A = this chain, B = another copy of it.
Amino acid sequence: MPSLTELQSWQGLQALADVLQRSSVSSLFAQQNQRFDEFSVSAAGVFLDYSKNRVTREVMGQLFEVAIERGLPEAINAMFSGDQINQSEARSVLHTALRSRSKRLVVNGVDVMTGIREQLAKMAQLVDEVRSGEWRGVTGKPIADVVNIGIGGSDLGPRMVAEALADPAASNPGVQFVSNVDGEHLLQTLAGLDPETTLFIITSKSFTTEETLINATSARRWVRDALGSDVSVRSHFVAVSSNVSAAVEFGIDASNVFQMWDWVGGRYSLWSAAGLAIALACGMEVFSELLAGAADLDEHFCQAPMDQNLPVILALVGIWNRNFQDIESLMIAPYDQRLASLPAYLQQADMESNGKSVDSTGKPVGVKTAPIVWGGAGSNIQHSYMQLLHQGNVSVASDFIVSRQPRTGSTYADHHRLLVANCFAQAQALMQGRSQQQAADELIADGVNPDQAEALAAQQQLPGNQPSNMIMVDNLGPRQLGALLALYEQKIFVQGVIWGVNSFDQWGVALGKTLATTILSTMARQRDGQSAPLAAGEDGSTLGLIRRFRG
């Protein structure tokens, strides 16, 4: 099988990129009136306009060719069928089953849908008990606050979705998230809470995640100190973990441990019981709608032809920007305060999945892989870093995300129009830029004298030609958010297939953990007054820092 860069289609893309190098996106619009109609697509309640990228019909055609030659249709089928596509960990990848409307999905002789339905029913029961006030703390009071203790995938997804969907006026119980091992995070969260009315969810697949365990242990101490017995732990802690015995040993009732499966990666786990905090904050109906929206998108992904296929198109445009336009970073700009944590969520989803330099056979990929993903909520970003995108000398690709309708209703209708206009205007300005002549003309029209205008105009010209996508949903609720998140998940999957990497492992994070253990023991030796010469594998900087930390 030829490597990616040996493919004729891939080489054809390079040739097209060379030809297009001198064409701005604006000039492509001038050449072709119908770009918007041709380069936009809608499915599962999500609309994508990708016409402001530096692509042409030929480019898209060639990208679809690459996808076929890299076996994308077969790869999609393999994932949804439960094949062990996570080869380095010998696991299936079945987060899609968590939201599937299928009745049955047999993997290795087991129908995984049965277990999924059981866990959903169990979630529904807990959610009902807590939200109705039936679940009582050890002193007999109903639960007012839920604290999810988890990190990475056990935090970013649930937190982002709960922030986006919880009704600020009606949220009962309040849901908060503690992830950081820094004691400040737990301390600040507990400062406003009452142990009698607080329920903790400990989310860790292995129940050995260091940060989560130390936070859980400190939270347990807080509960015990206030409520005084081991019984209190049973009334104030539940767990989401595949390690039931460890959770039980911690003091949690076995019946309050929700299952995780080895075929759900942490960064794909919000659809499982790891999303319990979402369901507690918003209700089980909302959680079900979230799953339904993701299922809508999955079905579209499996069925739609490539040139109408949202995740495929979004992925291929990303490949074009990364590999043929040499754009290193992807700015995520939700023009929606509810999605303020979406960039942080997508950082993990994208960079942990495809931040790899070897393919799944161990060979160098040979081309750049995942971009640096970053961003923030608009319109805030216009008053912050957007200056650089408009006037710096770095190419950045952007995804703008906006909801046609606000949740806020008529009281804030003027806010919403202004929000949307600013969103469209940023994308437009990034594409169009402004020439020095235009800037000078505008200054002169504003009454600036021609000499000054000439000098200032040089400071006010904008290169433009920055590519962007515009993603619009009709009314950001659980169903459309579910579809939006599944869109990004599948986009990332498609890119992984094109690059040939395993998007579902994360071996790069192991070394830091090992080194941290070594550093902790060096710190302990130093506390004990032992001299600490440079050990094997240690460097002068790390040792110097440890000494300085000791003080």
Partner of A377, one of B182, B338, B369, B411: B182
On whether the beta carbons of A540 and B391 are closer than 8 Å, the reply is no
A151:B383 contact, CB within 8 angstroms: yes
Tell me if B49 and A545 are in contact (CB < 8 A). Answer: yes
In the complex, the answer to whether B352 meets A49 with C-beta atoms within 8 Å is: no
Is A91 part of the binding interface, using a Cβ–Cβ cutoff of 8 Å?
A: no
Residues of B within 8 A of A523 (CB): 417, 420-421
Across the interface, which residues of B come within 8 angstroms of A418, CB to CB?
181, 210-211, 214, 516, 520
Q: Is A243 an interface residue (CB 8 A)?
A: no
Task: Tell me which residues across on chain B come within 8 A of A462, comparing CB atoms.
Answer: 508, 511
A548 within 8 Å of B (CB atoms): yes
Picked from B34, B368, B393, B425, the residue with its CB within 8 Å of the CB of A369 is B393
A365 interface contact, C-beta 8 A = yes
Q: In the complex the two chains form, is B460's CB within 8 Å of A510's CB?
A: yes
Would you call A380 an interface residue if the criterion is a C-beta within 8 Å of the partner chain's C-beta atoms?
A: yes
Check B357–A393 contact: CB distance below 8 A.
Answer: yes
Residues in B whose Cβ lies below 8 Å from that of A40: 544
Contact with B along A21-36 (1 / 0, CB 8 A): 0000010010001111
Which residues on B sit within 8 Å (CB–CB) of A541? 29, 35-36, 49, 51-52, 427-428, 431, 470
Tell me if B387 and A182 are in contact (CB < 8 A). no
Expressed in whole angstroms, the Cα–Cα distance for A327 and B29 within the complex equals 33
Q: Is A328 an interface residue (CB 8 A)?
A: yes
* Copies of the polypeptide in the assembly: 2
Known contacts A357-B393, A424-B519; is-contact A459 B384 (Cβ 8 Å)? no
Q: Tell me the A183-200 residues at the B interface (CB within 8 Å).
A: 183-188, 191-192
For A151, A374, A376, A470, which residue has the most chain B Cβ atoms within 10 angstroms? A374
B182 touches A335 (CB 8 A): yes
Contact yes or no, B432 A537, CB < 8 A: yes
- Tell whether A373 is near chain B: CB-to-CB under 8 Å: yes
A88 at the B interface (CB under 8 A): yes
List B contacts of A392 (CB < 8 A).
351, 355-357, 369-370, 508
Q: Is the CB of A380 within 8 A of B152?
A: yes
Known contacts A180-B380, A507-B459; decide if A356 and B419 are in contact (CB<8 Å): no
Smallest CB gap from A412: residue in B:
B183
- Asked if A142 is at the interface of the complex by the 8 Å CB criterion, the answer is no
Produce 1/0 per residue, A354-382, CB < 8 A to B.
11111011110100111011101111101
Asked if A116 is at the interface of the complex by the 8 Å CB criterion, the answer is no
Residue contact A459 to B542, C-beta cutoff 8 Å: no
Q: Are A542 and B169 in contact (CB under 8 A)?
A: no
Of the 9-residue stretches A58-66, A107-115, A288-296, A401-409, which lies at the interface with chain B? A401-409
A360 CB contacts on chain B under 8 angstroms: 459
Complex Cα distance, B363 from A458, in Å, reads 8
Assess whether B183 is in contact with A416, with CB atoms less than 8 Å apart: yes
| Cβ A544 vs Cβ B426 within 8 A | no
A191 to B370, CA, bound (A): 39
Contact of A181 among B181, B404, B415 (CB under 8 A): B415
Q: Is A278 an interface residue (CB 8 A)?
A: no
Q: Provided the pairs A425-B515, A470-B545, A551-B404 are in contact, do residues A387 and B355 lie with their beta carbons within 8 angstroms?
A: yes
Inside 8 A of A328's CB, which chain B residues have their CB?
328-329, 372, 394
8 Å CB interface, A211-247 against B = 211, 214-215, 218
Report which of B182, B351, B383, B427 forms a contact with A416, defined as CB distance below 8 A: B182
How many whole Å from A325's CB to the nearest CB in chain B?
Answer: 14
Question: Do A384 and B347 touch (CB < 8 A)?
Answer: yes
Known A-B contacts A183-B416, A512-B426; A380 and B155 likewise in contact (beta carbons under 8 Å) = yes
Within 8 Å by CB of A412, from B151, B186, B544, lies B186
* A176 is an interface residue with CB less than 8 A from chain B: no
Task: Report yes or no: B344 in contact with A384, Cβ–Cβ below 8 A.
Answer: yes
* A33, A37, A185, A461 interface centre (most CB from chain B within 10 Å): A185
Cβ of A429 under 8 Å from chain B: yes
A415 close to B51 (CB less than 8 A)? no
- A81 is an interface residue with CB less than 8 A from chain B: no
Closest CB pairs A-B (n = 3): A355-B388, A183-B412, A362-B458
A-B contact pairs, 26 of them (CB 8 A): A29-B540, A29-B541, A51-B541, A151-B379, A155-B380, A181-B419, A183-B406, A184-B412, A186-B415, A328-B329, A329-B372, A351-B388, A355-B390, A355-B391, A369-B392, A372-B394, A392-B508, A417-B520, A421-B517, A422-B516, A425-B516, A425-B518, A428-B541, A429-B511, A433-B511, A470-B541
